[in-house]
């Protein structure tokens, strides 16, 4: 319909003559009116111009991307564009925070930060509290050291865990203390001032119309280059240069992908970087963790064989350097898994393995139980702590809420991705320490470094139920108090 805008006088004349308004018969025009010839050919030319213009714009766009983003990514230097973007972003967010705080302090509203907890709990142990309760109602019958007041303690503890517990809150996104101008994080924040709303609106335009297409283009380029590049390298025979090239291709593609997410990553303690023949262990927040870590070095991945696009990528990657992909059936056989990992680790030419022992994505406020499988292999463990900055974009993948594609789109329409990566010194299994204790030790180190809460609970609780044995333990504890170690009957 845009063609009509470009049309010349001859068409207007024709239209008024035939009185058809916008509707006209092309063939009739062609035959009957000489001006129509001019119009039709003019029409075609306009159309071609339009497409030519569009193509030209697309070419410029691609050249810009290649020049400003891909080439620096390939060779590892930076032009400073993303740095300027980040500085502007940080300043804007600080300004927004100030405005919001000013507005809310007028009304004395304090938002409790998530880490302080919702309710105040008693700090005493079970024994101490039960004693307190018993002392406060001496009139209650005591039969064998059991009184009715004991169940009050358990009732209160039960209600407390219903209001707030350590585990379920880890499987949903962390809450922001102050709004960061993204719609998705707008829980309780509301209209403050016109300027803030304008900035927010501008933010939406920038994020969805400028940044998102750019990032999607980059991601596609990065991914296709990964497949093509690794397949090409895979065709080479096993010379030294093959390893070097393969590493280069991998790192380059991950760098492009990282630019595709506007990721700003700060690496700390790089002297502790994982070396060949070891296992690199990190806390898991989202699939993007892989991109973050692989930006700074090459790792061998471990995982299940997928179909579809992921399968293509997996097969391509394995051509250039060895990764460890398992079939679904093989994953059930723990001995097989351990053996394959052991073989990989013992071969000193192969890259360090990257494993996420939590087994599932957690929301980056805590570290959950590490599965002991990777700690039984006996290799050197290189722990790595990853902590995302929530202000710029929430990286947690809530797999029950979002599919992978919608998650990636959300990532691409956030402000940016800012995270810190700490490489911790290598750890070995000590004498007399079993795999579980070793795993816990590594977990504590990672939690401590990243400022995360160290939990004993299993990340698998996201989907599975708690085992009955935990309840048994509490019962046993209480029974010992009430009845004592010897199971003599107390009544007479």
Partner 1 sequence: MGALQSAPGHQEYIDLAEKTGFSFEQIGVLHKRFKQLSHNQETLRREHFNEIPDLACNPIRAQIVEAFFDRRNIRQNGGGTVEEIGFEEFLVVMSHFRPPSLHMTNEQRENVRREKLRFLFNMHDTDNDGTITLEEYRHVVEELLSRSGTLEKETAKSIADAAMLEVASISMGHMEPDEFYEGITFEHFDKLLIEFEIESKMNIRFLNMDTTTLCK
Task: Name which of 107 and 271 has its Cβ closer to partner 1.
Answer: 107
**Among candidate residues 368, 341, 432, 360, the one with its CA nearest the CA of residue 399:** 360
Q: 199 by DSSP, 3-state: which?
A: helix
Binding mask 29-58 for partner 1 (x = CB under 8 A): ------------------------------
Q: Site for partner 1 (CB under 8 A): which residue of 136, 238, 349, 430?
A: 136
Distance, in Å, from the CA atom of 452 to the CA atom of 445, rounded to the nearest integer, reads 10
Applying CB under 8 A, the site for partner 1 has a residue count of: 71
Contacting partner 1 within 436-465 (CB under 8 A):
457, 461, 465
**Burial label, 34 (beta-carbon count in 10 A; 0-12, 13-18, 19+):** exposed
Q: Which stretch binds partner 1 (CB under 8 A): 148-156, 228-236, 245-253, 277-285?
A: 148-156
Q: Using the rule CB under 8 A, is 131 a contact of partner 1?
A: no
Assess 486 for contact with partner 1 (CB under 8 A): yes
- In 10 A of CB 38, how many CB atoms? 14
Selected binder of partner 1 within 81, 98, 137, 404 (CB under 8 A) = 137
Binding flag, residue 430, partner 1 (CB under 8 A): no
> Any contact of residue 120 with partner 1 (CB under 8 A)?
yes
Binding-site member from 18, 92, 149, 269 for partner 1 (CB under 8 A): 149
Segment contacting partner 1 by CB under 8 A, of 109-117, 210-218, 384-392, 414-422: 109-117
Residues in 388-417 at the binding interface with partner 1, rule: CB under 8 A: 400
487 lies in the site for partner 1, by CB under 8 A: yes
In 249-408 the beta strands, taken as DSSP E runs, fall at 263-268, 278-282, 300-304, 324-326, 353-355, 366-367, 380-388
Q: Which is nearer to partner 1, 128 or 266 (CB)?
A: 128
The nearest distance, CB 371 to partner 1, in angstroms, is 17
Minimum CB separation of residue 184 from partner 1 in Å reads: 15
Contact by Cβ (8 Å): 358, 368: yes
Q: Is 491 in the site for partner 1 (CB under 8 A)?
A: yes
Q: Nearer Cβ to partner 1, position 101 or 304? A: 101
How far apart (Å, rounded) are the C-alpha atoms in residues 434 and 462?
26
Residues whose CB is less than 8 angstroms from the CB of residue 160 and which lie 6 or more positions away in sequence, other chains included: 119, 121
Per-residue binding letters, 329-368, with partner 1 (x by CB under 8 A): ----------------------------------------
Which one of the spans 51-59, 110-118, 211-219, 316-324 is the region binding partner 1 (CB under 8 A)?
110-118
What does the alpha-carbon distance between residue 488 and residue 492 come to, in Å, rounded to a whole number? 11
Q: Is 156 in the site for partner 1 (CB under 8 A)?
A: yes
Q: Considering Cα of 234, then 223, then 405, then 81, what sign does the dihedral take?
A: positive
Determine the straight-line distance between the first and last CA of the chain, rounded to whole angstroms: 99
Q: Tell me how far apart the alpha carbons of residues 306 and 103 are, in angstroms, rounded to a whole number.
A: 51
Question: Is 449 in contact with 384 (CB distance < 8 Å)?
Answer: no
Smallest distance, partner 1 to C-beta of residue 485, A: 7
99 binds partner 1 (CB under 8 A): no
User: Any alpha helices (H) in 353-434, and if so which ranges?
Assistant: 404-412
Options 14, 167, 221, 316; binder of partner 1; rule CB under 8 A: 167
Residue 365 CB burial class (10 angstroms; 0-12, 13-18, ≥19): buried
Q: DSSP characters for 45-108? A: HHHHHHHHHHHHHHHHHHHHHIIIIIHHHHHT---SHHHHHHHHHHHHHHHHHHHHHHHHHHTT
Judged by CB under 8 A, the stretch of 5-13, 42-50, 188-196, 412-420 that binds partner 1 is: 188-196
Q: Does 123 bind partner 1 (CB under 8 A)?
A: no
Using CA of residue 335, residue 336, residue 339, residue 345, what is the dihedral sign?
negative
- Per CB under 8 A, the list member of 1, 5, 22, 162 interacting with partner 1 is 162
Output the smallest distance, CB 153 to partner 1, in A. 9
CB under 8 A: which stretch of 150-158, 224-232, 325-333, 336-344 binds partner 1? 150-158
List all residues 6 or more positions away from 8 whose beta carbon is below 8 Å from its beta carbon.
38, 39, 42
Closest to partner 1 by CB, 85 or 457: 457
Instruction: Count other Cβ atoms within 10 Å, centred on residue 61.
Output: 13
């Amino acid at each position: 319909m845009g063609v009509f805008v470009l049309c010349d006088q001859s068409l207007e004349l024709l239209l008024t003559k035939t009185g058809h308004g916008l509707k006209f018969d092309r063939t009739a025009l062609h035959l009957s009116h000489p001006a129509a010839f001019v119009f039709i050919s003019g029409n075609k030319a306009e159309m071609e111009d339009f497409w030519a213009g569009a193509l030209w714009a697309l070419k410029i766009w691609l050249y810009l991307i290649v020049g400003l983003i891909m080439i620096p990514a390939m060779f590892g230097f930076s032009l400073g564009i993303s740095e300027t973007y980040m500085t502007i972003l940080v300043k804007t967010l600080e300004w927004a925070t100030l405005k919001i705080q000013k507005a809310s302090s007028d009304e004395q509203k304090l938002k409790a930060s998530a880490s302080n907890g919702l309710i105040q709990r008693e700090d005493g142990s079970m024994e101490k509290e039960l004693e307190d309760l018993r002392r406060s109602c001496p009139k209650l019958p005591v039969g064998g050291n059991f009184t009715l007041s004991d169940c009050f303690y358990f009732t209160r503890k039960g209600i407390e865990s219903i209001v707030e517990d350590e585990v379920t809150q880890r499987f949903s996104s962390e809450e922001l203390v102050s709004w960061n101008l993204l719609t998705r994080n707008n829980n309780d924040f509301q209209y403050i001032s016109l300027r803030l709303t304008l900035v927010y609106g501008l933010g939406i335009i920038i994020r969805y119309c400028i940044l998102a297409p750019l990032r999607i283009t980059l991601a596609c380029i990065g991914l296709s280059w990964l497949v093509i590049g690794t397949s090409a390298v895979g065709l080479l025979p096993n010379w030294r240069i093959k390893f070097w090239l393969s590493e280069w291709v991998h790192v380059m593609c991950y760098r492009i992908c990282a630019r595709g997410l506007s990721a700003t990553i700060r690496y700390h303690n790089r002297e502790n970087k994982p070396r060949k023949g070891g296992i690199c262990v990190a806390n898991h927040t989202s699939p993007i963790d892989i991109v973050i870590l692989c930006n700074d070095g090459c790792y061998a991945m471990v995982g299940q064989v997928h179909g579809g696009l992921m399968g293509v990528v997996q097969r391509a990657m394995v051509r250039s350097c060895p990764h460890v992909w398992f079939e679904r059936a093989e994953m059930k056989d723990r001995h097989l898994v351990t053996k394959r990992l052991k073989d990989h680790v013992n071969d000193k030419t192969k890259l360090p393995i990257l494993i996420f022992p939590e087994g599932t994505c957690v929301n980056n406020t805590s570290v959950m139980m590490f599965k002991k499988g990777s700690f039984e292999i006996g290799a050197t463990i290189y722990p790595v702590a990853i902590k995302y900055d929530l202000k710029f974009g929430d990286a947690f993948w809530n797999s029950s809420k979002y599919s992978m594609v919608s998650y990636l789109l959300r990532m691409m329409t956030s402000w940016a991705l800012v995270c810190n990566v700490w490489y911790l010194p290598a750890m070995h299994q000590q004498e007399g320490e079993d795999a579980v204790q070793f795993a816990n030790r590594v977990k504590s180190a990672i939690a401590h470094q990243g400022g995360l809460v160290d939990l004993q609970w299993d990340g698998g609780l996201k989907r599975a139920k708690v085992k009955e044995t935990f309840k048994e333990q509490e019962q046993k504890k209480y029974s010992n108090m009430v009845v004592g170690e010897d199971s003599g009957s107390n009544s007479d």
